[in-house]
Amino acid sequence: MICAQRVFRCFRALERLGDRITGAAGPYFVALAIILTSTGTVCFFDVIAPGLNYRLVTLPICILIALNLHMHYYYVCTVRPGFVEEPPKLQGHGLLWAKRRAKRRGGDGGVLTAPVRVNGARVTVAEIMKCRKCGQQRPERAHHCRICNRCVLKYDHHCPVRINQCVGLHNERHFVLFLVYLAISTLCYSVLGWPFLLESLGVTYSLEWPYHVPEVAFAMIYILAVVLCIAVGIMGGYHIWEVANGETSVEAQDHEVYRNRAKERSESTIPNSVNDRKRKNLELFFNIGDGGYPWYTLILPLRVMPYTDGHSWARRDGYDRHAGVRVGDELTDEEEG
């Protein structure tokens, strides 16, 4: 038993060391990502785009995809995820901000306070619990990030490699859209760039490479694009599936524990009371529809506020909390041990 505890503490120490290393290297990872995405964009428009058919149609679409890719990456890196102690954010103004269809009742500047109904969904005040790590009072769906050492509203995960901060309430939408447009971009590069890859490798016995981008740079970016297309496509599909189920990454694990506990007590359970119909969950997450933003905010890289301030949540009718989960069962953040 003592040996097992020592092994566990050793692994936790290694985990904390890894967190410190990746946290310190985060800005360098972001800089590398900017260099790679920019290089890929230059390669595409220098080599592939000039040979597209129906350029009056296809070129603007390609520009829009590239603009979404870079802008959503900029947003997800610069927009704070939303920390519990911060005051509620308000709708911004300017060219980068989308405009709502109509101002919602029950909130200041479009930020919701329960009780209201959004797209037919009932919104109730979130339960409050105390964080075991920092002792702060926080609403449900907030979790403590051990790297930031702060409680984050609607915490999904901390991403040191791609964005160097947490994914939470205010930047999760941009994170998902960044994954979507990165998958689309790499797919287009992989499919349309195949003939040019052969040319860059000399397989087609072309006498010259008539582009500004060096052959080796195009070939290396092409290989990276194929790998990212597969990896990011799977990751993006997983996140969209979670959004459709009304869950974050950490909540998906918690809800599985809730279901198992309820089964042990022979109780029926709906461990996720914020999970409505999949279409409704997607509308709430992207904040489109009645009282939200127009659908074109999915294809134009504009800033969009979430439908809630993180202290109230849309729930299934008839449920104010997770069914089958008793008081005291709620999972909080792991103890350091």
pLDDT of residue 253: 77
Q: Does residue 321 sit within a domain? A: no
Please give the residue range of the domain that contains residue 215.
Answer: 2-315
Q: Determine which of 20-24, 44-48, 82-86, 258-262 has the lowest per-residue pLDDT on average.
A: 20-24
**Predicted local distance difference test score (pLDDT) of residue 21:** 64
Q: Is the pLDDT of residue 263 over 80?
A: no
pLDDT the model gives residue 23: 63
* Higher pLDDT among residues 327 and 86, named by residue: 86
Quote the pLDDT of residue 63.
Answer: 97
Q: Which residue has the higher pLDDT, 280 or 104?
A: 280
Share above pLDDT 70 across residues of the chain, in percent, rounded to a whole number: 76
User: What pTM, to 2 d.p., does this model score?
Assistant: 0.86
- Average pLDDT value for residue range 71-78: 95
Structural domain contains residue 337: no
- Looking at residue 109, its pLDDT comes to 42
Q: Residue 337: pLDDT band by 50, 70, 90 thresholds?
A: very low
How high is the pLDDT of residue 4?
45
Q: Which two tokens stand for residue 306?
A: 């979430």
Q: Give the chain's largest Cα–Cα span.
A: 74
Whether 330 is covered by a domain: the verdict is no
pLDDT confidence band for 326 (50 / 70 / 90) = low
The share of the chain scoring above pLDDT 90, in percent, equals 42
pLDDT above 90: residue 221: yes
Q: For residue 333, is it within any domain?
A: no
More confident residue, 175 or 94: 175
pLDDT tens by residue, 103-159: 554 444 444 554 666 666 778 788 888 888 888 888 888 889 888 888 999 999 888
Number of domains in the chain: 1
Tell me whether residue 329 is in a domain. no
46 domain residue, yes or no: yes
Q: Is there a domain that residue 193 lies in?
A: yes
Q: Which of 143-157, 164-178, 246-260 has the lowest mean pLDDT?
A: 246-260
- Average pLDDT of the residues of the chain: 82
Tell me if 336 is assigned to some domain: no
Return the higher-pLDDT residue of 93 and 299: 299
Mean pLDDT of 48-77: 95
> For residue 239, what pLDDT is reported?
93
